[in-house]
Chain A
Amino acid sequence: MRLSWRKPAPLNWSAAREAQYTTAAPLLGGASITLLGIVITDRDKFRWPGPTLLALALTALFMVVAMVLGILSRQYLYSRSDVEAWWGPLSEMSDDQHEELIQDQRMHYSRYVRLERKADFCYLSGILCLAAGSSLTLAPPAHAAAPAWRWFAAGTTATLIVVLPLARTMPYIRNVMRNLQADHHDST
């Protein structure tokens, strides 16, 4: 079986991830560090300063790791035209060399996907910690005058902690169901 170059689906998926690791993650990590500074200096104005600080510190950590892994992964992603830019036209190449370059690209692409998966896990964990951190920040202190609105705000942010993992796992649940159906079809 002659195999071809690997490519992301949809094709610009990797460009979207690049924006996630070079723009969104640093921004969110930076914001959590700013918030961290506020909670440290004004800890008596928050209901649970300890857990809040932990959640915000974890956010910063996850975002930095996501950024590092995302950028590390990027070196393993290149297209056939990148190969041609560095190696010269593929049509002028021997079949063996052509084949080797395809194999390298396929190996690098799977490495890219593996690193990307880890980066994505860190990014998602970072978002969850940020949601938890903001929610804890919003919880009214014990002596607050009208705490209902603050509780409402905290609760709204906290729903992200439930909704996000659910939205992420849905495609997998659907896929398992599809496979079960297909296996059933297979065995009958």
Chain B
Amino acid sequence: MPPRQCPACDAAPSERADHYADCPLKDVPLAQVAGLTLEQAEAKAARWRA
């Protein structure tokens, strides 16, 4: 299976614990956004920040 990755910075939870430094989604835990599309991840990030 292709590794699940953050749609913005491409970090994979199977490889590392957190996003890369300037990822726009970095305030959401990596495991929460990995494997999602960018739109889904942004919606999730908005919910997470609220």
Contact = CB atoms under 8 A, between A and B. Distances in A.
A4 B3 CA distance: 18
B31 A175 contact: yes
A4 B8 CA distance: 8
Contact of B2 (A117, A178, A179): A117
Interface residues of B, number: 22
Interface of A: 1, 3-4, 6-10, 13, 110, 113, 116-117, 120, 168, 171, 175, 178-179, 182, 186
Chain B facing A: main interface SS: loop
30 contacts: A1-B24, A3-B38, A4-B9, A6-B10, A7-B10, A8-B3, A8-B10, A9-B5, A9-B10, A9-B11, A9-B14, A9-B15, A10-B3, A10-B12, A10-B15, A13-B2, A110-B37, A113-B2, A117-B1, A120-B1, A120-B2, A168-B1, A171-B14, A175-B13, A175-B31, A175-B34, A178-B13, A178-B31, A179-B32, A182-B31
